[in-house]
Structure 1
Amino acid sequence: MTDIRPLDEARMAEARALYDHLTGNGSRFLRVGELLTAGAETAPGLLPDAQTLAAEAARPLSAKTGVEMAQALFLQAIFADRARGLHLCHAMQLPRPEAAANAARLARDGVLDLGLVRVERHGRLLVVENRNAGRLNAEDVPTIDALEHAVDAALLDEESTACILRGGVVDHPRYAGRRLAGAGLNLTDLYEGRVPYVMYIEREMGWVAKVFRGLAAPDRLPDELAETREKAWIGVIDGFAIGAATQALLVCDAVVAEAGSWFNVPARKEGLVPGCTNLRLPRIMGDRLARQIIMNGRTIRVDEPEARLLIDRVAEPDGLETAIDEVAADLVDGGVVSIAGNRRAFRVAQEPLDLFRAYLAIYTREVAVCHLSPALVANLERHWTGRKARG
């Protein structure tokens, strides 16, 4: 049986010493995936190596051996230490190496097509669109990677003042030709074993964190005292937002919804900890309602009074584009500088970087425990694969 207990003091010290060695005592940055790879090469007894992980990746979820738990416990040891945890947060908030080239393509062409994600200029606005059309705009490993590249380019763009986060038109028979905000985590990939543990962490610390906190500079910690490169973000609910698609709305500065749409976070049915939703949803919608949504599976329709705690404006389908433009115009009317300043002021009051780090110290382990639990397989078979079989 996989040992899910937190590391003892000796192993925690070993993990932190390894982090110091790999980062040159904090003088260089490694992303989470890079850190785990380098750590396995340097200390194979502490972390699973590439061959072991490749064998694990080939197994369906029900046959996983639990080797990724070692990664979770290692990361927990790092995030539980304030200085090292903040350093890793800093590493993940930096633009990726491809960012400058992608931003240049966007500036030149007005479009950045990354396949599963597209960024397109509309005047002073950029639309970042999830185009995983065959999967109802669900999030999976390649989509999450593309979203981070898209967010990097959007934030580096010099001509735009705000960004629209939206799902594209899907080609599923039931919804063909319609836009959808997104179906959340790709549960087929999860059930078939194609979702690695590290994906959960890199999503929360990657594109989602960059929407919320902006891009960091390498020479200063991106806390609330440092200037980050950020813009206003407007989230849009077309049709429905499930799970991860709802989570993304929680880091937006405004949300516009299509009349008749709905959102939920079906964590109970999936059997997972839903990213940073437990950190953010209670402050937006209140603790009791947040628990109903996360733990009891409550779906909120946008015409319910409670929806207005998250949704700024609801519009009929034929007026949705106008509503998005008007909300964006109102949001940036005071200029980009005041937007960034107000965003930082909200963060210091609600979710300073050190609180995010402390949350990750819990999340890194708890999501791994859920990910490797037989209960997750049972939940998926009860609520997802059975539903698919019924059509």
Structure 2
Amino acid sequence: MSPSADRAGLDGRSVPGGLDAAVDALASVAARGEERLASLPEPVERDPGQRETAARAKLAVRQARHAFLREHVDAVYDDLTEGGAVRLRLRELVDSAGARFPGLLPGAEPMAAESKRIQAHKEGLEIDQGLFLREVLGSVSAGTHLMESMLRPTERALRLLPEFRRTGSIALPSVRLERTGTAAELTLCRDDCLNAEDDQQVDDVETAVDLALLDPAVRVGAFRGGPMSHPRYAGRRVFSAGINLKRLHAGEISFVDFLMRREMGYINKLVRGIAVPHDASWRSPTIEKPWLAGVDTFAIGGGAQLLLVFDRVIAGADAFFSLPAAQEGIVPGASNFRLGRAIGSRRSRQIVLWGRKVWASEPDGGLLFDEVVDPAELDAAMRKGMDRLDNAAVVTNRRMLNLAEEPPDSFRVYMAEFALQQALRIYSEDVLGKVGRFTAGAVSK
């Protein structure tokens, strides 16, 4: 590779010679960047000068990757998916891109070393994954194909489907799914951590959502939190405490498998259904079903995000909704995309930027909760709600409401920017400091 090709990759200009030459130039720049990082002490042991050297090395590589993707992202995606014939999920896409195009993403060895570090001691290599996914999702053709691919059922769900259809029950590490009549009731059961989400729970919930959507005996889905063993809430049901900050501090919250998969996987399936061949494919490419949520005690962070996609939300009178994004320092998923239409622009800023809680019993609670009942009456209210949603006209009308309120292409554009901004946030100094203080002494690695 000539020096001019190297400079072209670093300053954002096109590399002469087409895709092959651009790949070679990028690989060379990235290899030098990895060599510079490898020559330095572990991130936590670096002095200020070494930290500056590492930052410059990573910036040079990211500039080259950005320039490459801006020009070649569609060609890269077409190569990885064989012109769209192969449907890759997020993890498969990222891994395949790293293997097929050297230098496009951090190598396997640096990523393996990264996985052993707590969050505050990492290089932040997931930011490069965010940069890659921002450009893929920003492409109309590649991004649309990827969004559609993420609506397909997981292999785990397909394996478990015969058992669920036969027994009507599946117990996963963090979720229980039970079919009662025509309803599939999904119970979040991480009782030790107030249903705080981690990679395991995202995998379990998507599996359960897939099963409910795939089972023809199910016509309605319902979410609820189970009873807790946490001393402060022992015996009480809790909907969700949001992201598991202890796992985040420990470096065990994956950018791809949690932060991106959660939004593009099971939450998007709650909105748009599951993409699988079926008899009515000529009428709709997905199988959709109405969903209801019952909120006990609180829905914080990720739990609050979930409420914005359900067709009906019923809450106990003592429950509240909270999105402490500004306090945690991260982006609250797709809430910034959805919250405004539910509660208005000014209230959205009060909630996201100012940390306002909305109690089910206050006047504004009616903008987030469809029905508020005595906590002892929540079971009966949910059963009544599930029966009411079991209506073929509901499925059609929710589809049209979702199309009007959340066009797929608008969601794709939001997720493109979310991919990079969230990756940057989880490695920002303020977030690392807050998470470290929250979990001080509780997690070690």
Q: TM-score range by the shorter chain?
A: over 0.9
1:18 pairs, out of 48, 66, 76, with 76
Residues 324 and 168 of structure 1, relative CA distance in 2, 3 Å threshold: same
| From 370, 378, 391, the counterpart of 2:425 | 370
The Cα offsets for residues 2-50 of structure 1, whole Å up to 9 and x where unpaired, read as: 4366954433233432211110011111001000111111112011233
Given that 1:120 and 1:127 are in contact with CA atoms closer than 8 Å, whether structure 2 keeps it comes out as: yes
CA contact (8 A) 2:318 2:375 kept: no
* Structure 1 letter corresponding to 2:413: A
Amino acid at match of 1:104: P
Asked whether the equivalents of residues 176 and 187 of structure 2 are also in contact (C-alpha less than 8 Å), the reply is yes
What is the 5 A alignment of 1:95-114?
A: 95-114=153-172
CA distance in 2, matches of 1:84, 1:11: 12
Q: Distance in 2 between matches of 1:295 and 1:5?
A: 31
Quick one: which amino acid aligns to residue 64 of structure 1? K
Please state how far the C-alpha of 1:289 moved relative to its aligned partner. 0.6
Aligned amino acid, residue 209 of structure 1: N
Question: What runs of 5+ residues in structure 1 fail to find an aligned partner?
Answer: none
Match for 2:439 among 367, 385, 389? 385
Q: Is residue 88 from structure 1 mapped to residue 146 from structure 2 by the alignment?
A: yes
| Post-superposition offset of 1:379 | 2.4
Q: CA RMSD in A?
A: 2.1
- Matching of residue 46 in structure 1 with residue 100 in structure 2: no
Classify 1:10/1:47 alpha carbon distance in 2 versus 1 (closer, same or farther; 3 Å): closer
Q: Secondary structure at the match of 1:372?
A: coil
In structure 1, the residue matched to 2:115 is 57
Distance 1:150 1:122 in 2: 15
Amino acid at match of 1:374: E
Query: Secondary structure of 1:135's match?
Result: coil
Given the superposition, is the C-alpha separation of residues 226 and 110 from structure 1 closer, same or farther in structure 2, using an over 3 Å criterion?
closer
| Contact kept? 2:74, 2:141, Cα under 8 Å | no
- The structural deviation recorded for 1:286 is 0.8
Matches within 5 A, 1:1-391: 1=55, 2-3=58-59, 8-198=66-256, 199-217=258-276, 226-332=284-390, 335-336=391-392, 338-382=393-437, 384-385=438-439
Counterpart secondary structure, 1:163: strand
Check the 8 A contact 1:181/1:240 in 2, yes or no.
Answer: yes
Q: Matched residues in 2 for 1:388 and 1:286: separation?
A: 38
Structure with the bigger RCO (C-alpha within 8 Å, sep 6+) is: 1
Deviations 1:202-235 (CA, angstroms, capped at 9, x unpaired): 110111111111001369xx9x983420111001
Quote how far apart the aligned CAs of 1:67 are: 1.2
In structure 1, give the amino acid aligned to 2:143: G
Percent identity over the alignment?
37
Partners of 1:269 and 1:380 within 8 A in 2: no
Residue type of the partner of 2:188? N
Unaligned runs of 5+ in 2: 1-54
Cα separation, partners in 2 of 1:44 and 1:5, compared to 1, 3 Å: closer
Distance across 1 between alignment mates of 2:247 and 2:191? 15
Which one has a bigger Cα radius of gyration? 2
Q: Is the 8 A contact 2:66 2:131 kept in 1?
A: no
Q: Which moved more, 1:224-233 or 1:183-192?
A: 224-233
Q: What SS does the aligned partner of 2:247 have?
A: helix
Query: How many residues get paired?
Result: 382
Using a 3 Å threshold, how does the CA distance of structure 1 residues 115 and 8 change in structure 2: closer, same or farther? closer
Q: Secondary structure at the match of 2:179?
A: strand
Deviations 1:226-270 (A, max 9, x none): 342011100111111110011111110000101211110110111
Question: Could you tell which deviates more after superposition, 263-272 or 226-235?
Answer: 226-235
User: CA separation in 2, counterparts of 1:144 and 1:89?
Assistant: 17
Matched to 2:412, the amino acid is R
Determine helix, strand or coil for the equivalent of 2:425.
helix
Mark the CA change 1:159 to 1:217 in structure 2 (over 3 Å): closer, same or farther: closer
Q: Whole-Å Cα distance in 2 between the matches of residues 318 and 361 of structure 1?
A: 42
TM-score by length of 2: 0.82
The structural deviation recorded for 1:372 is 1.1
Structure 1 counterpart SS, 2:274: coil
Q: Give me the whole-angstrom Cα distance separating, in 2, the residues matched to 1:205 and 1:42.
A: 24
Q: Please give the alpha-carbon distance, in whole angstroms, between the structure 1 residues aligned to 2:152 and 2:218.
A: 20
Query: What secondary structure, in the 3-state scheme, does the structure 2 residue paired with 1:99 have?
Result: helix
Evaluate the alpha carbon distance shift between residue 297 and residue 387 of structure 1 in structure 2; reply closer, same or farther with a 3 A threshold.
Answer: farther
User: 1:157 Cα shift?
Assistant: 1.3
Give secondary structure in 2 for the equivalent of 1:37.
helix
CA contact under 8 A between 1:95 and 1:215: conserved in structure 2? yes
